[in-house]
Amino acid sequence: MKINLMALGLAATALTGSVSMALAQDAAQPRRDDPAALVAQQGDADGAFVMPGRFSEPDGEKMYRRVCAACHMADASGAAGAGKYPPLANNPNLAASGYPMLVTLKGLNGMPPLGTMMTDQQVADVVNYVRTHFGNQYDDAITAEDVKAMR
């Protein structure tokens, strides 16, 4: 169990790094292949990546690809290795919209509360995207208002 948690922590750290790099690249065009320069640019004396305040992805598909796919894979089939990342494809747990909305907003064990770095609309978009793709056909879309109410 301890090893699993460590592995998930590492995965989350790696993700944070890549997301920070991606965001910073949008803003200032730093070199993606040079994390040290990026850290210096962000002014973090400890050498740790700074959590981005906000994701900038404009729609659910881009958000999925940039953020969720890192753990759940591009085709949402999930992954099992050092940690266990459940598939989101053909997942009956997505039938009740409140559940993926809650997990995205609050996190769940190895999954960070990524929705805290998204606008209400971005959370709604990515939840609606996964609930209508990868073999999921749940058309009762959630709205930014729903997300706001659950925060």
Paired tokens of 17:
């790094």
List Cβ neighbours of 46 (8 Å cut-off, separation of 6 or more).
Answer: none
CA angle, 119 then 150 then 63, to 5°: 35
Query: What is the Rg, in whole angstroms, of the alpha carbon atoms belonging to the chain?
Result: 16
Question: Please, which residue, 24 or 142, has the CB nearer to ligand HEC?
Answer: 142
Least CB distance to ligand HEC at residue 40 (A): 26
* CA pair distance 4, 150, nearest whole angstrom: 29
Question: Please, which residue, 22 or 41, has the CB nearer to ligand HEC?
Answer: 22
Least CB distance to ligand HEC at residue 90 (A): 11
Which residues in this chain contact ligand HEC in the complex, by CB under 6 A? 8, 11-12, 15, 67-68, 70-72, 83, 85-86, 88, 91, 93, 100, 103-104, 108-112, 114, 126, 130
Least CB distance to ligand HEC at residue 130 (A): 5
Paired tokens of 70:
């890192």
